[in-house]
Chains A and B, each alone.
Chain A
Amino acid sequence: MSREREAEELDSLVLATIEGWHRHGRALTEAEFNDLAIALFTHQLRYDPAYAAYCAGYGISLNALPPHWSAIPPLPARAFKEAAIAAFPVGSAELVFESSGTTLGAPSRHYLENRRLYDASLLAGFERAILRDGARLRYLLLVPNPAQRPHSSLGYMMGRVASQFGDGETGWYLDEDRLLVDAFTADARDACERAQPLCIATTAFSLLHVLEVFEERDIHLTLPAGSRIMETGGFKGRERVVAREELYARAIRAFGIASEQIVAEYGMSELCSQYYDLPGSERSFAGAMHRVKVAPPWLRTRILDERERDCAPGTIGALAHIDLANRSSCLAVLTEDLGAAVDDGILLFGREQGASLRGCSLDAEDLRRS
């Protein structure tokens, strides 16, 4: 069978899986997930030489396939910065997503052969997590505009969501690196006057910036009923960081919404699928409140210790994602993000700042306490 034919058949299987859950709520059995994962992995071994060479170090090859999806070697996410991880000729990629980051001065690049799986996965996940009530919202987007940043996965994702589920009046408020707070405020006020429910999609950093301006100008809105905020992205690489609880409390005050109307998304440019907050799942862990995050059934996550073994439930480790929608790149991705498995999903702890020079040093927090 040709590579193209094999890829098409696998894409169809994954699309059917996504569709089955999206339209009919059908989950995958363990055996179904395993069979599909091994089939995808075999395809990647066959056509992705960089990943295949890496797997050989684990003693895994086309002649020695893993017995179970959990034995698929997870590729370190940083490898996406150093090589084209693709089971197809990357010159024909329909989508290329780049992450920020400065390791070796190169961004991480995720090549996707086509947009079918990515679109299906993101739309299904978003609709099930954010639009369970079927609301048609106006999208005010504090994320990169695909017209300016065509390689931003977040921008692409929200562009697709808005065109699929929006009211046709989508607003983009990130002009390169400049946040258009005045335009955002005017459009939000206009929607409030028209009682048009909103979905504000924002990175945590952009949200903080807007909140600071609102607080400075004493702006308070009461978003129309049914409005919601999707927050993502944390504060990667930023100096100013606030705790999630504080950020949400300030957003609740500024926008006149309830806590459950704010939903956090967790994704990365190396994955085609996303995690979202499970409604009503707030719980205490290690002295802080966290929301459980859940993924669609084609995305599973292992929590690994330093020996690359699965951690016991409730133990913090590194997240290794197995995303069946990553057919054309690499389905198993090892991150430096931290998390812990719980009964109904995972708790996500993000990651600390990269290890830095210490010497005879205090850290930034100590700085303020010195």
Chain B
Amino acid sequence: MTALSAIPVRTIAAAIGDAALRWSDADFPPRVRATNDIVERTGYSIPAVDFALDALFGELRTDALLETIARELGDPAALDGATARIRPLGRIAILSSRTTIGVAIPAMCFALCAKNDVVVKDREDRLVAAFSESLAQEHEAFARALRVAHWDGRHGSSRLQGARLIVVFGSDETIASVARERAADARTIGFGSRTSIGFLDASAQNAPAELTAALEGAARDASLYEGEGCMSLHALFFERGACHPSVLAERFSAAMESATNEFPVGERSASSRAAMLQQRNLAAFRAAAGRGAAYCDERLHFLVLLDPPAQEPPIFLPRTVALIPVDSSEEIVAYVERHALPIESLGVTGTPRSYTEIASRIGAARIASLGEMQRPPIQAHHGGRPRIAEYVRFLDIDGERE
């Protein structure tokens, strides 16, 4: 028995939706406090944090949760009652990442919808803990079902004891480490380091209004969270022959500059600043030798590197984007393969479905419109994996089918 096993799934989803609705209000006092703490932890600007929280809690609607559950599991009612044939795993542990704001919260909500007891490792800003208090206010059973804490790993392994599943948002090394140290009967699901790229084909470049929107959107995707998230755009490919490369680069650079107004630059380490200066000057050196160019503002808030050498991987620095000309999408595939890039999202214009083949070939988990890459819908999979199906076990009865 888990703390939520007697609560109908619709009640759980409604409580989560109601709590998220309160958190969607930027003036909700707990959110105001959390915003300040997130700004302090990450160094991101307030508008960037607000964007993240709006995107996060705006998606956690009751109807969206139930829709996702229905898509993955069928009728949500199958989770309810003493004879339910879809059962919780028991206890699930979720380890939050350092970068993406609130990345553990959707996983936690679906784990709760599946009626599991949940342990979450929070970050220093204690966003998850604050949201869990709102959940407990919506329904007292959450107080028993949910344990949220920020802990130091040297003393935290006992908190993972009894977990049937450990969900880890982290680097590949982190995931491997947790997998090595987990209890024999626990399973690990890892969401490792990934990155995102975009593509502007010739037709997108030939439609002026569409191109403007795409470049503005791409700039937003590259600028949010200082380029630190898995959905952050780090390479934007464009098909040769439509827009002149330098014109495109100048327009994209202007869009990047506008994005610094919408989402002011956060705090940067001296190391990041030094690395950006090195990259800018290296690009200037290459330009002097006849290859590519660097575009930036005077304060180096952003950096657009036009036509860097193909053998150079994307530069994972704040608001730094490689703008790469290609003759065909084959070159994108070759680039991704050459650098063994784990791709989260492919940002495109027009009809996303028409990019299915290339997305599949580069191993992307998602195709998104440029400008929407940082707003993954809750009904979609996360990193190509189900939202809830891995948090349940199924009880099948021979001769009966749903």
Which range holds the interface residue count of chain A? 35 or more
Interface residues of A in 195-215 (CB under 8 A from B): none
Return the chain B residue nearest A356 by Cβ. Answer: B316
Assess whether B193 is in contact with A357, with CB atoms less than 8 Å apart: yes
- Cα distance A134–B81 in the bound complex, in angstroms: 88
Chain A 75-93: CB-based contact to B (< 8 A → 1; otherwise 0) = 1111100110000000000
Complexed CA–CA distance, A335 and B171 (Å): 28
A292 to B393, CA, bound (A): 62
A76-B278, A366-B174 known; A361+B285 contact, CB < 8 A: no
Q: Evaluate contact between B192 and A359: CB separation under 8 angstroms.
A: yes
Contact among B121, B277, B286, B383 for A370, CB-based, below 8 A: B121
With A352-B269, A355-B315 in contact, do A53 and B174 touch (Cβ < 8 Å)? no
B299 in contact (CB, < 8 A): yes
Contact A359 B298 (CB under 8 A): no
Give the residues in chain A near B74, CB-CB below 8 Å.
none
Is B153 a contact partner of A338 (Cβ separation < 8 A)? no
**Contact A360:B193 (CB < 8 A) given known A355-B317, A369-B152:** yes
Contact between B99 and A104, CB atoms less than 8 A apart: no
Q: Closest approach, in angstroms, between the C-beta of A370 and any C-beta of chain B?
A: 5
Tell me, yes or no, whether B169 is within 8 Å of chain A by CB: yes
Alpha-carbon distance between A135 and B284 when the two chains are bound, in angstroms = 47
The chain A residue with its CB closest to the CB of B296 is: A306
Instruction: Please tell me if the beta carbons of A308 and B178 are within 8 angstroms of each other in the complex.
Output: no
With A and B bound together, what is the CA distance between A305 and B299 in angstroms? 9
B-contact 0/1 string along A35-77, CB 8 Å cutoff: 0000000000000001001101100000000000000001111
Min C-beta distance of A41 to chain B, whole Å: 16
Question: B171, A104: Cβ atoms under 8 Å?
Answer: no
Say yes or no: A361 contacts B270, CB within 8 Å. no
Determine if A362 and B174 form an interchain contact, defined as CB atoms under 8 angstroms apart.
yes
The proximity string for A residues 332-370 relative to B, scoring 1 for CB distances below 8 Å and 0 otherwise, is: 001111100000000001011011111111111011111
Q: Mark A266-291, 1 if CB is under 8 A from B, else 0.
A: 00000000000000000000000000
Check A369 against B153 for contact (C-beta < 8 Å). Answer: yes
Task: Chain B residues near A57: list those with CB within 8 A.
Answer: 284, 287-288
**Chain A residues with Cβ under 8 A from B271's Cβ?**
336, 338, 351-352
Bound together, the chains give a CA A82 to CA B192 distance in angstroms of 32
Q: How far is the CA of A359 from the CA of B289 in the complex (A)?
A: 34
Q: CA–CA, A294 to B103, complex, Å?
A: 47
Of all chain A residues, which has the CB nearest B172? Answer: A361
Give me the interface of A with B, judged by CB distance under 8 Å. 50, 53-54, 56-57, 74-79, 82-83, 103-105, 304-308, 316-318, 334-338, 349, 351-352, 354-364, 366-370
Known contacts A360-B383, A362-B174; 11 further A-B pairs (Cβ under 8 A): A83-B285, A104-B311, A336-B271, A355-B316, A355-B317, A359-B193, A360-B97, A360-B229, A362-B171, A367-B171, A370-B153
Kindly list the 4 A-B residue pairs having the minimum CB-CB distance in the complex, ordered from nearest: A359-B230, A369-B153, A318-B274, A53-B288
**B interface vs A, CB < 8 Å?**
95, 97-100, 103, 121, 152-154, 156, 168-171, 173-174, 177-178, 191-195, 228-230, 268-278, 281-282, 284-289, 298-300, 309, 311-312, 315-317, 341-342, 344, 383
